[in-house]
Amino acid sequence: VSALDTSPPPAPDAALEDRVVIETPAMPRYVAVIRLTAAAMTSRLGFTLDSVEDLKLAVDEAVSLAIESASPGSKVTVSFVVTDGALYVSARAPAASAPNEDSYAWGVLVALSDNARCRFEDGVAEVSFEIPPRTDES
C-alpha cells in the first residue's frame, strides 16, 4: 500500500459477502443441517422471525426434493445469495430424473416463496426459489 494512498478501503463486494454455499451428501439425514444453517444465516442478515421460519421450511422442501431425485452417492449443493434484501436459494444435485412437482413438498415450496422452479438439465436436478425483500407495509 502506497504511503500516499489515503482513500478509504474498497467497499466490500456484496456478491461475495452475502453468498453462502453448503455442500453435503445428498442424503435425508443432512437436510436438518442445511435448514438450520439457513435459519442461522438469515437471522444474522436481519430477516424477521416469521420469515426465518418460512425460509427454514422452504429450504427444507427444496433440499428434500433435490435429494429425492439425486443419484446415489452424490452431493447436494445449496447456495444462498442475498441481493437488495431478497434471498435466492438453489439446491442442485446430480440426478437421473427431475424433481417431483406432483408432491406436497413442491406445493409447500410454491406457497412459501416466489419464482419456485424445478429444472433437470445435463444430469443435474435443481430446485430454486426466492424470498422477496420484506416491506414495512406487510
Partner 1 sequence: VDLEVAVREDAGVVILSAKGEVDVWTADILRQSLRDVQAEGEPHVIVDLTEVPFVDSTGIGVLVGALKRARETGGSLHLVVVSAGVRKVLAITSLDQIFPVHESLSDAISAAAAEGATPDGRGAVVTE
- Does 105 bind partner 1 (CB under 8 A)? Our answer is yes
- Does 32 bind partner 1 (CB under 8 A)? Our answer is yes
Please give the helix or strand (H or E) that residue 24 lies within, else none.
Answer: strand 19-25
Could you give the CA distance from residue 55 to residue 46 in angstroms, rounded to a whole number? 13
- Does 57 bind partner 1 (CB under 8 A)? Our answer is yes
Q: What is the sign of the dihedral through the CA atoms of 99, 102, 108 and 110?
A: positive
- Does 64 bind partner 1 (CB under 8 A)? Our answer is yes
Grid cell digits, residue 121: 438439465
- Does 29 bind partner 1 (CB under 8 A)? Our answer is yes
Grid cell digits, residue 107: 406445493
Among 55, 67, 93, 127, binds partner 1 (CB under 8 A): 67
- Does 112 bind partner 1 (CB under 8 A)? Our answer is yes
Only segment of 58-66, 73-81, 88-96, 120-128 that touches partner 1 (CB under 8 A)? 58-66
Please give the helix or strand (H or E) that residue 14 lies within, else none.
Answer: helix 14-17
Pick from 97, 98, 54, 58: nearest CA to 78: 58
The nearer residue to partner 1, 32 or 86, going by C-beta atoms, is 32
Binding residues (CB under 8 A) for partner 1: these are: 28-29, 31-32, 35, 53-54, 56-57, 60-61, 64, 67-68, 103-105, 107-108, 111-112
